[in-house]
Structure 1
Amino acid sequence: MKYNHGELSEHKGIKLLAEEAEKYEGQYPIDMHYVYLTLQKYFYTKREKGANLKRCQNIPEKDMAIYPEFKKAYLEEHDYFVNYPAFKLMAIILEKQGKFEEAIQVCNRAIELGVECDTKSGFEGRKKKLEKKLND
């Protein structure tokens, strides 16, 4: 595989970050969320290449799994909360794959956990849009 210098540095950095993340899974939910967020952004932009699509799905799944622990830990340290894009990203990925039922399940989970979406209609609106696509 041939890389230009910038791609090689980026590839090695992401590989090292992913390896380090594996060592700390189940610990440090705040740090892990931000590691997962970085990895999600990277693999989503490269999702058309090889194994990146699978990684693009696996990482948001891991991030969604730690949401309750992240929220608890974050609110112990801060008096405000931040955007948590893993649920939205996963719903988008599944929608693009035509997996509307699975995307709806992600929306339901986000609604159940009280995750806010940075869109006007939130996860409720996203869910309605997906249900319409499912029934068309």
Structure 2
Amino acid sequence: MSGYMNLWLNYRATEDLFMKHLELVEDKPFELHFAYNSFIKLYSMHLIQPDAAEKLVAVCIKDIELFPRFKESWHERNPTYGFLPFIPSFKTLIIFYENKQRFYEAIDICNAALEYELTDGTKGGYPGRLARLERKLENQLKES
């Protein structure tokens, strides 16, 4: 197995390495977004760790709050691009909340993604995801 893969498998060592990098980019929205993406991947891979779920939610929220500044930075660096890269924090957090049956929170994040006109890489996109979440919330409310 490659050293790169071994690093990803070592939760604490990888997190420590990412934390050091985070300190270098914390005032740079463009780089900070991609640093957050690394944390999202790490915590998603290691949800068995007792603190990973809480940290996953926290970093997704930070990236979502950063998004307007990242978007501006992205367009400054890529003025001829008519698109944004995929922003995993929205989809990841929606799925996390949906799996926990926290539909109000999932709907809020989905609405934010729609306001920013983001795509999630699926056929139905965020509009389809929102409709599904609303149905699940309605069913949950009927059952209680």
What TM-score bracket applies, with the shorter chain setting the length?
0.7 to 0.9
The corresponding residue for 1:66 is 66
Task: Supply the distance in 2 between the matched residues of 1:83 and 1:11 (Cα, whole angstroms).
Answer: 27
Task: Supply the distance in 2 between the matched residues of 1:108 and 1:9 (Cα, whole angstroms).
Answer: 35
Deviation at 1:20, TM superposition (A): 4.0
Segments of structure 1 that go 5 or more residues without pairing to the other structure are 1-5
Of stretches 88-97 and 12-21 in structure 1, the one that deviates more from structure 2 is 12-21
| TM-score scaled by length of structure 1 | 0.86
Contact 2:93 2:109 survives alignment (8 Å) = yes
Segments of structure 2 that go 5 or more residues without pairing to the other structure are 1-5, 140-144
The corresponding residue for 2:48 is 48
Task: Supply the distance in 2 between the matched residues of 1:10 and 1:95 (Cα, whole angstroms).
Answer: 25
Equivalent residue in structure 2 for 1:129, among 124, 127, 132: 132
The corresponding residue for 1:15 is 16
Q: CA RMSD in A?
A: 1.8
Task: Supply the distance in 2 between the matched residues of 1:35 and 1:24 (Cα, whole angstroms).
Answer: 8
1:41-77 C-alpha deviation (Å, 9 max, x unpaired)? 0101111220111011111111111111111111111
Distance 1:102 1:9, change over 3 A: closer
| TM-score scaled by length of structure 2 | 0.82
Deviation at 1:24, TM superposition (A): 4.5
- Secondary structure of the structure 2 residue equivalent to 1:43: helix
